Amino acid sequence: MAIILPVKEHFPFIGENSFIAPNCTIVGDVTIGQHCSVWFNAVVRGDVNYIKIGDYSNIQDNVTIHGTYERNGTDIGNYVNIGHNAIIHGCTIHDYTLIGMGAIVMDRTIIESNVIIAAGSVVLEDVICESGYLYAGVPAKKIKPLTDDQLNLLKKLPHNYVLYSSWFSD
């Protein structure tokens, strides 16, 4: 059974039609929108600051989402895909983005809408990732504009995860 716990009178809120894997952890000041999914072994830890996740977003296996005590909460928009093993910390991620597998997004970073952060990339503190581009590397740099296929993928993936999560319903 998923671990869903309050911290200091802050109770997680999970929107309708959201899939919560039986072994993920969601604690504290966490708001998860509708039609979201939080996958196996993911940790959404709103103990030291808030975490807000919009509608139709997916938090894939082994992702860690956290903030910085008394400094930076974490805001994740609608239709956001956060790939396996990513770390999201005290930042803002706007709509229709993909954070690749194993990527790290650090405090006070802003990921604008329609951005892909490549797998394994590290987005350092205070970086603004401009809409419409692929970012990659350690540290992550703007690489090239997104193609039409990539932009279409950003629209399609969240709906795929709604489908995948339906396979686990009773």
Using one digit for the tens of pLDDT, what is the confidence trace for 51-92?
A: 999 999 999 999 999 999 999 999 999 999 999 999 999 999
Kindly report the number of other CB atoms within 10 A of residue 149's CB atom: 7
- Residue 65 and residue 168: Cα distance in Å, rounded? 23
| β-pairing verdict for 64-66 and 87-89 | parallel
Query: In terms of Cα–Cα distance, which of 51, 46, 20, 50 is closest to 35?
Result: 20
- CATH classification of 3-166, choosing from 3.30.230.10, 3.30.1490.100, 3.10.450.30, 2.160.10.10? 2.160.10.10
Three-class DSSP category at 151? helix
**Radius of gyration of the chain measured on its C-alpha atoms:** 15
Residue whose structure tokens are 């997104």: 146
Strand partners, 88: 65, 105
Rounded to 5 degrees, what angle do the CA atoms 110, 148, 94 make? 20
Asked whether the predicted pLDDT for residue 170 surpasses 80, the reply is: no
Q: Residue 137's pLDDT is what?
A: 98
Domain regions of the chain by residue span: 3-166
Single-letter residue type at 79? Y
Where helices occur in the chain by DSSP H, the ranges are 148-166
| β-pairing verdict for 58-59 and 81-82 | parallel
- Residue 47 and residue 51: Cα distance in Å, rounded? 9
Query: In terms of Cα–Cα distance, which of 108, 170, 112 is closest to 142?
Result: 112
Largest Cα–Cα separation, the chain: 46
pLDDT tens column, 125-156: 999 999 999 999 999 999 999 999 999 999 99
- Identify the band that residue 111 occupies on the pLDDT scale cut at 50, 70 and 90: very high
